[in-house]
Amino acid sequence: MRRTAAKTPKPQQDDTRIAADARIEGDIVFAGSIRIDGHVAGNVRAVDDQDHVVVIGKTGRVAGRVDAPDVVIEGAVDGDLVSRHSAELRAGARVSGDVHYRSLTMDVGAIVNGSLICEAGGAGARGLIRSPAMVRAWRRTTSRP
């Protein structure tokens, strides 16, 4: 019997990139993937519910609503974040608005000034418990004597 090596998926290349020194005023509608390292004053929205990804880098800032199936935030969003599939808020991420998600990963150091709203069919609070310290704290508050 012949074994074949499992194929490792290649990292998705950014279809669109907004550089750190760029500033865009107006709404963006995109397909594929977009990485924002600059500033966007307007809404960022995927054309449909297909495999589209928004990445807001550490220097990126969006003043408006972000709406896409998959979202990764390292920078700042001043507006609501709507992820119809998965949202990842990395350490240093700042969201001033409500976060709508089905699956949420939130690193220690990410800040949300708004509500976390799990949409139907989501992972719920399980997606919030990530670090060992958070798990221990959660277990202490929910354990029965």
In the chain (145 residues long), the average pLDDT of successive 10-residue segments reads: 35 76 96 95 92 95 97 97 95 96 94 90 47 49 50
Contacts with 17 (C-beta within 8 Å, 6 or more apart), sequence order: 34, 35, 37
6 in any annotated domain:
no
39 in any annotated domain:
yes
| Number of domains, the chain | 1
pLDDT score recorded for residue 119: 85
pLDDT score recorded for residue 15: 84
> Which tens digit of pLDDT belongs to each residue from 121-141?
644 444 444 445 444 554 554
According to DSSP, the residues that pair with 24 across neighbouring strands are 40
76 in any annotated domain:
yes
10 in any annotated domain:
no
pLDDT score recorded for residue 139: 53
pLDDT score recorded for residue 121: 62
Could you tell me the residue range of the domain that residue 67 belongs to? 16-142
* 6: exposed, middle or buried (Cβ count in 10 Å: 0-12, 13-18, 19+): exposed
